[in-house]
Amino acid sequence: MTDTDTTTRVALVTGGSGGIGRAVAERLARDGIAVAVHYAGNKAKADETVAAIVAAGGRAIPVGGDVADEDAMSAAFDAVEQEFGGVDVVVNTAGIMVLSPIATLDLDDLDRMHRTNIRGTFVVSQQAARRVRGGGAIINFSTTVTRTKFPTYGAYVASKAAVEAMTLVLARELRGKDITVNAVAPGPTATPLFLNGKDEATVENLAKAAPLERLGAPDDIAESVAFLAGPARWINGQVLFANGGLA
């Protein structure tokens, strides 16, 4: 659906076709924000998310591309601007997680995580720094495991610690532009990314670890993002831990 009203707030959500990304896209749409739902390889899932948003009365389009490819992401931002008139909110949920002890990690997996989690976030943040309108927000994704330090998460945590660092620097580089830059660090959240490869006992133990004694839901994380994307104009250069009190 085309909307040329430049007063409409517009969001681009990377990895927006499933899991936390889809919950974020749908939550922002409920706030009246026009949403570009980014996908890397599964356009059908992005189309499903777009259809759900439109059916609920929102505005959304799918946009594709490798987040680590600067040309693809430049084209994605171009498509959003052409469709909706600008970009106000950029949410980087796209990421991959491979778990292994550091001693036995396949370095190809390290490189894959580096490409998506670090370079991908950097490329999208770079475009966002150039294009997000005043009054906007850039929201990256870290992880609570930077605090809990669970074994087998070493390479993943290394990539997310880099995301935290670049987020805090970018917030200060955008001085005077009225753009906030923050990161959300979810705790254990019931998504395919988290549940994949974990047995029932492991999931149950993680669910009981937080004082609220449950796993997070994608909607829990989406609420944190909506807060940073909208009313939280005095929160800037921070990492918001959304984990039920786990750490």
Cα–Cα distance between 105 and 110 in angstroms, integer? 7
* Residue 61, strand partner residues: 36
* Residue 32 backbone class (left: φ over 0; alpha: ψ -120 to 50; beta: rest): left
Cα–Cα distance between 176 and 28 in angstroms, integer? 25
Cα–Cα distance between 104 and 106 in angstroms, integer? 6
Instruction: Look up 153 and say whether it is catalytic.
Output: no
63's tokens: 């946009």
Cα–Cα distance between 185 and 142 in angstroms, integer? 4
| Catalytic residue selected from 39, 84, 153, 156 | 156
3-class DSSP state of 104: helix
Q: Which residues are catalytic?
A: 156
